[in-house]
Structure 1
Amino acid sequence: MALSREEIAARYGAALFGYAQDSKVLDTVYEEMAELKKAVTANPKIISVLSDPILSSKDKKSVLTAIEKDFSDEVQGFLNLLLEYNRFGDLVDIIDRFVLLYDNEKKIASGIATTAIKLDDDQLKRLGKSFAKKYNLNNVRLENKVDPSILGGVVLQVKDRVIDGSVKNKLKKIRAQIIDKN
């Protein structure tokens, strides 16, 4: 029976995580996998070439050698394993699974800060640090989404938590209180 993409990502991502953790190079592997994801997302042709069933193994290996030359031995070995087992088509999903395991281990969360105007990097970092401190996390990486309809304030979504500090929401609550009193 064939494995689904999710099962493949879970198995290979967990294997890479466990191997990197045992080898005491978890942070290095994380950084390299993040760089690799950026590269293959910007240039998806890399995955197409390395997962092409028509291209010979020798040709794929030469392409992979050029890509992996600056990576650690652990990442090089893992990429060669993916090539050997024809799993390069699942690379992005595997990296995402690895990052999820890494984030859980390091108590890191990602989320979206929705604001009426764009926040600068410093404001996002301070907001992330504040959230991390409140919820016993080491770090929170935030992406800023602009939505003028919230009028002001911030709607923060991290994992399964939503904190709505928008002006629109506060006005809605005030309106509900006024209506309830009448």
Structure 2
Amino acid sequence: MALSREEIANRYGSALFGYAQDMRALETVYDDLQELKKAVQANPRILTILSDPILNGDEKKKSLSVIEQGFSKEVQAFLNLLLEYNRFGNLLDIINRFNDLYDDAKSITSGTAITAVKLDPDQLKHLSESYAKKYNLNAVRLKNQVDPSILGGVILQVKDRVIDGSVKNKLTKIRAQLINND
């Protein structure tokens, strides 16, 4: 029975995470995978070539040897494993699963700050630090999304939690109170 993309990502991402921990190379592997992810997103043909069933194994190994230069021995070994088992088409899913496990282990989370105007990096950093402190996290990676319809304030969406501090929401609540008091 064929494995789904999620099952493949979970198995390989979890295996790589455990291996990186055992080798005491978690930070190095994480950093290498972020660079690899950027490279693959910038040039998706890398995955096409390395997962192409028509190319023979030697040609793929030559291509991989160029790509893996500069990466840690753990990441190099993992990339060769993916090549051997024809799993390069799942590389981004595997990296994403590894990143999820890394974030969980390090108490890091990601989210979105929705504002009426773009936040500067210092404002976004302050908001991230405040949220992390309040919810006992080591870090929160926030990206900013601009939505002028909220009028002002901020809506924070982090994992399954939404904190709506927008002016629009406050006005809606005031309106509801006024209607209920009549």
TM-score per shorter chain, which class? over 0.9
- Distance (whole Å) between structure 2 residues aligned to residue 51 and residue 88 of structure 1: 5
- Tell whether 2:108 aligns with 1:108: yes
Unaligned runs of 5+ in 1: none
1:24 aligns with 24
The corresponding residue for 1:48 is 48
User: Offset at 1:56?
Assistant: 1.0
The answer for the alignment partner of 1:37 in structure 2 is: 37
| Structure 1 stretches of at least 4 aligned residues deviating more than 6 Å after TM superposition | none
2:20 and 2:107 map into 1 onto residues whose CA distance is 17
Work out the number of aligned pairs and report it.
182
> Could you say what secondary structure the match of 2:70 adopts?
coil
TM-score (norm 2): 0.99
- 2:125 is the alignment partner of 1:132: no
Any unmatched runs of 5+ in structure 2? none
Structure 2 Cα separation of the partners of residues 106 and 115 of structure 1: 28
| Letter in structure 2 aligned against 1:158 | V
Letter in 2 for 1:73: K
2:170 aligned partner, one-letter code = K
Q: How does 1:54-93 map to 2 (within 5 A)?
A: 54-93=54-93
Q: Identical aligned pairs, as a percentage? A: 71
What TM-score do you get using the length of structure 1 for normalisation? 0.99
Which secondary structure state, in structure 2, belongs to the residue aligned with residue 165 of structure 1?
A: strand
Alpha-carbon distance in structure 1 between the residues aligned to 2:87 and 2:28: 22
2:78, 2:120 → 1: CA distance? 37
CA offset digits 1:53-98 (Å, max 9, x no partner): 0011111111111010100000000000000000000000000000
| Superposition deviation, residue 121 in structure 1 | 1.4
**Which residue identity is paired with 1:75?**
V
Alignment of 1:147-162 (within 5 A): 147-162=147-162
Alpha-carbon distance in 2 for matches of 1:65, 1:117: 46
